[in-house]
Amino acid sequence: GHKGPALSELDRDLRKGLGGAVERWIKARSSLGGSSEDNAGFPSEIMRLAKLIAFEACELKREEEGLEAFTQNPSPEGCESLSREVTTTRFRLIHPEIKAPFVFEATHHVFAGELLGTGKRLDGLTWKVDLELIGFFLVAFHTQTYQCGEELDRSLLDEVRSALNTPLSPSELAVLLMLAGNACRGAAAWNDVEDVCFWSNNFSLPEFRVR
């Protein structure tokens, strides 16, 4: 169909953001060592797949949240406000076998108030991050307790993987899709995803594990 100028500009900006995040991933990975042949093939394969990603839409919503949403310790007593920022990004993989677009939702749950017992006032502490590729997986990461809740449909991820004919592991492919879904954050998209890689069971990249 006809692409309006606004869309191509969005696509260009988000591709650039994804590129920055992917560069940080490659750098983080190579700084951890690993076998040289493995490291040699990885950047070019990631770049190949990243080039297949075309962005169609991206919107940000900010909403207030009820205090009952705050499940962290310390309790919400010192809490003045809770809000969430939901970024919904729609993108496609340009490939004849992959027809449906991907819809990714990144939700940052933000706390403002006093952390009980610390006397510290915080304005805008992200206490939970949800990363969801709708239909594929959901990760809920608690930034203060490092707990990771996750759900995953492996068979769907494997279908995409075999269509792309890629040697990447399912976790690595999922990370690339998370970075695409977070591309509006630019290189900083890697920050949330790196935390998830570190603490998650399903998306752990062995090279990021504490040795």
Amino acid at the residue 186: G
Q: Find the mean pLDDT for residues 113-124.
A: 74
Handedness of CA 170, 176, 180, 182 (dihedral sign): positive
- Mean pLDDT over each residue of the chain, to the nearest integer: 85
* Band of residue 88 on the pLDDT scale cut at 50, 70, 90: very high
The pLDDT score that the predictor gives to residue 33 is 66
Q: What is the largest CA-CA distance in the chain?
A: 58
The pLDDT score that the predictor gives to residue 1 is 47
Instruction: Give CA–CA dist 46/93, Å, rounded.
Output: 13
Least confident of 83-87, 98-102, 109-113, 174-178: 109-113
Bin 132: left if φ > 0, else alpha if -120 < ψ < 50, else beta.
beta
Q: At what angle do helices 5-30 and 170-181 cross, to 10 degrees?
A: 140
Please say if the pLDDT value at position 73 is more than 60.
no
Instruction: Report which of residues 2 and 201 the model is more confident about.
Output: 201
**Model pLDDT for residues 4-46, shown as the tens digit of each residue:** 556 689 999 999 999 999 999 999 888 876 655 555 688 999 9
pLDDT over 70 percentage in the chain:
83
* Band of residue 125 on the pLDDT scale cut at 50, 70, 90: confident
Instruction: Give CA–CA dist 40/178, Å, rounded.
Output: 23
